[in-house]
Amino acid sequence: MMRLPVWLAAVSVVLAAGASQAQDVLRAPAPDWVRSLTSDSQASATDAAPIRILALDEQVRFDAEGVHTHIVRRIRIQTAQGLGMVSTVSAVWSPPSQRLEVHRVRILRGDQVIDVLESQAFQTLQREDNLESSMLDGRLTATLQPRDLRVGDVLETAFTIHDDGGVLAPHRELLKSVSSGLTIDHYRMRATWPATMEMQVKGPETWEGAAPRRQGDQWVFEVDRRAVLPPRMPDDLPTRYYLDKIFQFTDFTDWAAISKLMAPLYVRAETLEADSPLRAEIERIRASIRPIRRGRPPPCVWCRTRSAIWPCRWARAAMSRPRPMMSGAAVTATARARPSCCWPCCTVWASRPRRCWSAPG
């Protein structure tokens, strides 16, 4: 039996442990680069809406390890209908390039603070929303249903998603949207990155003054807004039109840089491995194809000329269908292969490329 070197076995164990951790929901304190958002959860006025978004805080950190997104939400339940709207806390991530850390899930009830994570834990689901289309994306969803929620409670959640970049590494990019169907009383977007990292930033055109500024050894981009209203749009618009407030971060200089990064991936995808099962399938199909007979064809029984018999068999159906468009190379090859035959055999044969229909050698 072949034995693996000790260092290779150790690497295998580390990789397996890393993949397992990426699929688990980890509980950890908030990163040290996070700045707390001061917002009074009880100051906002109560309206007739089932819920009210009191605060939405999104903080992003770009560094050599990847992109780290920290999100804090505070939602107040105002009616019994709102209980069903916030009954489930969820977060979505894509292992192995991403991992999820949960910091807190709390219920603020007056002066009382209830830590939900002391008595409950998240469950991990693999939903595969595109399964009916035979598409698997591998994304996981962490879900938790807080117990004993009441009207008037404020549900506060905080978690961080760490992304190492996947196939785009070591490049960094992120797109965030502020679009919401409800008014956000207090919204903040804060992004930081080292001064040695060159990032391009673009914020919503309607929000003036959103630009990065230098603070010591890092760049800081921060937008702080009150009473962010939802967009007023028709109900039948595609989803992409609802993304009216978008933040874009990237270190790519232009589209050519992205193409240069992605092109080798397509070349590698086109190369089959020596033991690929697809090779056996290709050989099976190749062996099942009847070889093309070349040489002078027998007399045509339809137009009584020396042409191929089988073009005449489908000539009636082919002449009633629109002929496909062909490139110049295919038309040139067909013209050289045209036999000396009268209409309609010659016409039908001339409409097919030589690689599909044989001709006299």
Task: Please tell me the distance from the alpha carbon of residue 358 to that of residue 311, in angstroms, as a whole number.
Answer: 10
CB 146 within 8 A of CB 107: yes
Task: Please tell me the distance from the alpha carbon of residue 231 to that of residue 180, in angstroms, as a whole number.
Answer: 8
Same domain, 264 and 298: no
Token reading at 36:
């707390």
Global confidence as pTM: 0.68
Token reading at 351:
């409409």
Same domain, 344 and 302: yes
End-of-domain residue from the set 213, 233, 268: 268
Quick: pLDDT tens for 264-307: 888 888 888 888 888 888 888 988 887 666 655 555 544 444 44
Whether 277 is in a domain gets the answer: no
Same domain, 316 and 245: no
Determine which helix (DSSP H) or strand (DSSP E) holds 200, and give its type and residue range. Answer: strand 200-202
Q: Residue 40: is its pLDDT beyond 70?
A: no
> What's the whole-number mean pLDDT along residues 338-360?
46
Whether 58 is in a domain gets the answer: yes
* Domain that residue 51 falls in: 23-268
Q: Quick one: pLDDT at residue 294?
A: 60
> What's the whole-number mean pLDDT along residues 303-317?
46
Token reading at 273:
């491995």
Same domain, 192 and 339: no
| Rg value, the chain, Cα | 31
End-of-domain residue from the set 211, 234, 268: 268
Measured CA distances, 187 to 55, 96, 152, 339 (Å): 6, 30, 21, 75
How crowded is the C-beta side of 39, counted as CA atoms within 13 Å? Answer: 25
Task: Please tell me the distance from the alpha carbon of residue 49 to that of residue 52, in angstroms, as a whole number.
Answer: 7
Q: What percent of the chain has pLDDT over 90?
A: 25
Query: Which range among 2-11, 140-149, 155-164, 335-344 shows the weakest confidence by mean pLDDT?
Result: 2-11
Same domain, 304 and 244: no
Q: Quick one: pLDDT at residue 146?
A: 92
Whether 161 is in a domain gets the answer: yes
SS3 labels along 46-66? CCCCCEEEEEEEEEEEEECCE
Residues 6+ apart with CB under 8 A from 348: 311, 314, 315, 318, 319
Same domain, 303 and 260: no
Measured CA distances, 257 to 250, 261, 315 (Å): 11, 6, 51
The domain spanning residue 52 has which CATH number? Answer: 2.60.40.3140
Same domain, 89 and 229: yes
Residues in the chain: 361
Same domain, 188 and 325: no
Same domain, 116 and 42: yes
Q: Quick one: pLDDT at residue 241?
A: 73
End-of-domain residue from the set 227, 250, 268: 268
Task: Please tell me the distance from the alpha carbon of residue 57 to that of residue 293, in angstroms, as a whole number.
Answer: 72
Whether 281 is in a domain gets the answer: no
3-state DSSP helix/strand/coil % of the chain, to nearest 5: 25, 30, 45
Quick: pLDDT tens for 166-223: 888 888 988 888 877 788 899 999 999 999 998 988 888 777 777 888 988 999 999 8
Mean pLDDT (the chain) is: 76
Whether 342 is in a domain gets the answer: yes
Q: Residue 317: is its pLDDT beyond 80?
A: no
Number of domains in the chain: 2
Same domain, 53 and 197: yes
Residues 6+ apart with CB under 8 A from 166: 97
Same domain, 161 and 71: yes
Whether 190 is in a domain gets the answer: yes
Same domain, 130 and 259: yes
Q: Quick one: pLDDT at residue 271?
A: 84
